[in-house]
Chains A and B, each alone.
Chain A
């Protein structure tokens, strides 16, 4: 029998304005408990200005086996990088 509560993923914002980053996970029965557990587990030393918790079952994730196929379109397009372009000698601030 599964005696564990649901798994929640925890995202921590370390300073106001910054992106929320994944920190880890906690077990909890509801939103409120998940937030409290996340606070106790991941922000004991003032690491956070904000917390998000998301039920792990609600997250759609890419799978490792699809990795090559999924990200392939980005690999052969080096022209998306600024360094691909020739900047005329002497041109500044570009």
Chain B
């Protein structure tokens, strides 16, 4: 019989049993999850900005309704995740403050701008597509509330990816200018989407503990490869080209090989020096501040 707190926790993890909020857990496990879940939540919320930018300029009423529904979902995903993080004993205010002071991060991919309508296609198809690969794994993560939030989110993401892919397919099959826009969006979003999985686990700071605790069950590189293998075929079907001269299929491994990614750029962008970092946080602060009276009214 396990006796100490650590024993109970370790035994549950070993037996693949989910950890629930009131179960004993090591302080480092709790802190790791607080960081990961809150940053996941921030990504959902900040991720609304590049897309929200296109609501008023959507090319048809159909496209506009779809985009609104998608962005509404992202807000919802942020809420599921903030709630899951709160079960660990951190408040919403603390998390927002960590985001706004730069102590907590969000996915580096959202620091790139959505320049044309084709970017909305590329974001749904590639950014949501990469997120799905990661989130499918997280449905089996060891912390119960996080895993359950992931199940809900994955169900909803499928629409997000398909609406993006539909936009890309339509534009790729449109006029030469539209085709060019689709290819250009793919060119710009390809590498940032691949970098969403994070650096190779060898240099990833938090990976080792995350594996031990079964927060994470597949390596960053393995997840990235999964995404590449799926996406290359989807690219070819709609007549676009993967923007990588070194892309080749290795018949022996059954996987695609790609050029190394520019991790200097990744670190630069995630540390604050991407094309839109300042704008994203300023926007968040502005609306958070403008909503202050609502929060205060709620407490009366």
B33 at interface (Cβ–Cβ under 8 A)? Answer: no
Please name all residues of chain B whose beta carbon is closer than 8 Å to the beta carbon of A91 when the two chains form the complex: 165, 169, 233-234, 237-238
Q: Are A93 and B162 in contact (CB under 8 A)?
A: no
User: Which stretch (B12-20, B99-107, B192-200, B256-264) binds chain A?
Assistant: B12-20
Q: Are B20 and A88 in contact (CB under 8 A)?
A: no
User: Which stretch (A3-11, A30-38, A54-62, A75-83) binds chain B?
Assistant: A75-83
Chain A interface secondary structure, helix, strand, loop or mixed? Answer: loop
B65 at interface (Cβ–Cβ under 8 A)? Answer: yes
Given A16-B18, A17-B144, A82-B159; A92-B69 close (CB under 8 Å): no
Q: Which chain B residues in 196-236 approach chain A with CB under 8 Å?
A: 230, 233-234
Given A85-B163, A87-B162; A77-B69 close (CB under 8 Å): yes
Please name all residues of chain A whose beta carbon is closer than 8 Å to the beta carbon of B129 when the two chains form the complex: 94
A15 to B18 Cα, complex, angstroms: 9
A94 to B125 Cα, complex, angstroms: 9
A90 at interface (Cβ–Cβ under 8 A)? Answer: yes
Kindly report which residue of chain A lies nearest to residue B227, judged by CB atoms: A93
Kindly report which residue of chain B lies nearest to residue A77, judged by CB atoms: B69
Q: Are A81 and B234 in contact (CB under 8 A)?
A: no
Given A87-B165, A91-B165; A81-B159 close (CB under 8 Å): yes
Q: Which chain B residues in 266-294 approach chain A with CB under 8 Å?
A: none
Kindly report which residue of chain A lies nearest to residue B143, judged by CB atoms: A17
Please name all residues of chain A whose beta carbon is closer than 8 Å to the beta carbon of B62 when the two chains form the complex: 79
Given A17-B17, A17-B18, A85-B162; A92-B233 close (CB under 8 Å): yes
A18 to B158 Cα, complex, angstroms: 22
A88 to B162 Cα, complex, angstroms: 10
Chain A interface extent, by class: 20 to 34
A94 to B169 Cα, complex, angstroms: 13
Please name all residues of chain A whose beta carbon is closer than 8 Å to the beta carbon of B17 when the two chains form the complex: 16-17, 49
Please name all residues of chain B whose beta carbon is closer than 8 Å to the beta carbon of A81 when the two chains form the complex: 159
Count B interface residues, CB 8 Å. 27
Kindly report which residue of chain B lies nearest to residue A93, judged by CB atoms: B230
Please name all residues of chain B whose beta carbon is closer than 8 Å to the beta carbon of A65 when the two chains form the complex: none
B148 at interface (Cβ–Cβ under 8 A)? Answer: yes
Q: Are B69 and A79 in contact (CB under 8 A)?
A: yes
Q: Are B12 and A16 in contact (CB under 8 A)?
A: yes
A87 to B169 Cα, complex, angstroms: 8
Q: Are B161 and A94 in contact (CB under 8 A)?
A: yes
A19 at interface (Cβ–Cβ under 8 A)? Answer: yes
A94 to B234 Cα, complex, angstroms: 8
B166 at interface (Cβ–Cβ under 8 A)? Answer: yes
| Shortest beta-carbon contacts, A-B, top 9 | A17-B18, A85-B162, A82-B158, A16-B17, A16-B18, A93-B230, A91-B237, A82-B159, A85-B166
Given contacts A88-B238, A92-B233, A94-B230, 10 further A-B contacts (CB under 8 A): A16-B12, A16-B17, A16-B20, A17-B148, A79-B159, A82-B158, A82-B161, A86-B169, A88-B169, A94-B161
> Can you list 18 pairs linking A and B with CB atoms under 8 Å apart?
A16-B20, A17-B144, A17-B147, A77-B65, A79-B62, A81-B159, A84-B162, A85-B163, A85-B166, A87-B166, A88-B237, A91-B169, A91-B238, A93-B230, A93-B233, A94-B129, A94-B161, A94-B162
